[in-house]
Amino acid sequence: MLELQPSTLNSSQHTFLIKQEAQRLQFDFCGISKAVPLNDDARRLESWLNKGFHGKMKYMEQHFDLRTDPTKLVPGAKSVISLLYNYYQNQSSLDKTKPKIAKYAFGDDYRIIKEKLYELLHTIENRIGNVTARVFVDSGPVLERTWAAKSGLGWVGKNGNLINKQHGSFYFLAEIILDVELDYDAPIKNYCGTCTRCIDACPTDAISERNVIDGSKCISYFTIELREEIPLEMKGKFEGWMFGCDICQDVCPWNRFARQHEESKFLPSDLLTAMKKEDWEELTEEIYERLFKNSPLKRAKFEGIRRNLLFLKDD
């Protein structure tokens, strides 16, 4: 840790301090971009919404100006700190006869990341001085992948995920928006090339050739976001996915570089790994509460999980 007093630090030293602290907190990557209005992304987002690709996710229509202008979220914002936190599980702990759960949801939810963000912000306040800032991790009206790409942490692939050249796409994204000028990282090029593996593998045709994701066709949308009955025309297309979907990430060539995470709280519990196919078919609300006490699966609620399990039955 630098021993300089806050009054003696310049923007380069501020930047070094932040990245050093992010590494200490076990974030895998940290990049910083200038807080500016995202005019091009605003146009793309507006077109995406107008085409109805958000389905029933009405919250995507809200706070449009906040999503595309960080100074509306943090008055006087000058920098966006983007961070990646690995959740890759190098082998499934759920056997093939069980319903599939996206890797990010095997263990506890990502509140641990928010705790780390606040610890990073606390260091910034202690070492740099009084700042105006907000932290975000999968919450708030923030275009996370855009900011991560602008800060050089990767590129947005054809599957809509942020892909890091070193270790793929199995990362939680997090941000701190603050009113401190820092040294900014440059974006990198898109390395998807002519590869279409994610497009070809998607069983619901949610990924178009134009690199646009129709969220209303995505398995994750149906199993997490949708509160109604799943359309019957999707029957037989989920390939066993009960919560979320990793197909487009699993087939991505860049994820051959993914590494096993080192966060014990992201590992599946013994109770979850012990579940048999018949246990899932007989799932009760009491067992659900025990299985997913601190899990992202709480987002779908018991009724949603039961609906998903019934939809997969006999597939």
Residue-by-residue pLDDT tens, the chain, 315 positions: 444 344 467 999 999 999 999 999 999 999 999 999 999 998 999 999 999 999 999 888 888 899 999 999 999 999 999 999 999 988 666 666 779 999 999 999 888 899 999 999 999 999 998 899 999 998 789 999 999 999 999 999 999 999 999 999 999 999 999 999 999 999 999 999 999 999 999 999 999 877 789 999 999 999 999 999 999 999 999 999 999 999 999 999 999 999 999 999 999 888 898 898 889 989 999 999 999 988 999 999 999 999 999 999 866
Domain extents for the chain?
A: 1-315
Per DSSP, helices labelled H in the chain are: 11-24, 39-50, 64-68, 70-73, 111-128, 144-150, 197-201, 219-220, 247-250, 270-274, 277-281, 285-291, 301-312
Degrees to nearest 5, angle at CA 296 with 134 and 162: 60
Whole-number Å distance between alpha carbons of 71 and 102: 34
Per-residue pLDDT, 96: 66
Residue given tokens 């998807």 in the structure block: 192
**Which pLDDT belongs to residue 313?**
86
Please, are residues 15 and 183 in contact by the beta-carbon 8 Å criterion? yes
Q: Which residues contact 191 (CB under 8 A, 6 or more apart)?
A: 155, 163, 165, 254
Q: What is the largest CA-CA distance in the chain?
A: 67
Among 136, 135, 155, smallest CA distance to 145 is for 155
What is the C-alpha separation between 63 and 49, in angstroms, rounded? 13
- CA dist 73 and 133 (Å) reads 9
Instruction: Report yes or no: 148 and 101 within 8 Å, Cβ to Cβ.
Output: no
Q: Are 291 and 275 in contact (CB under 8 A)?
A: yes
Task: List the Cα angle 293/296/297 in 5-degree steps.
Answer: 75
Give the active site residues. 138
Torsion angle of alpha carbons 301, 302, 308, 312, nearest 10°? 150
Confidence (pLDDT) at 60: 87
> pTM of this prediction?
0.93
Confidence (pLDDT) at 13: 93
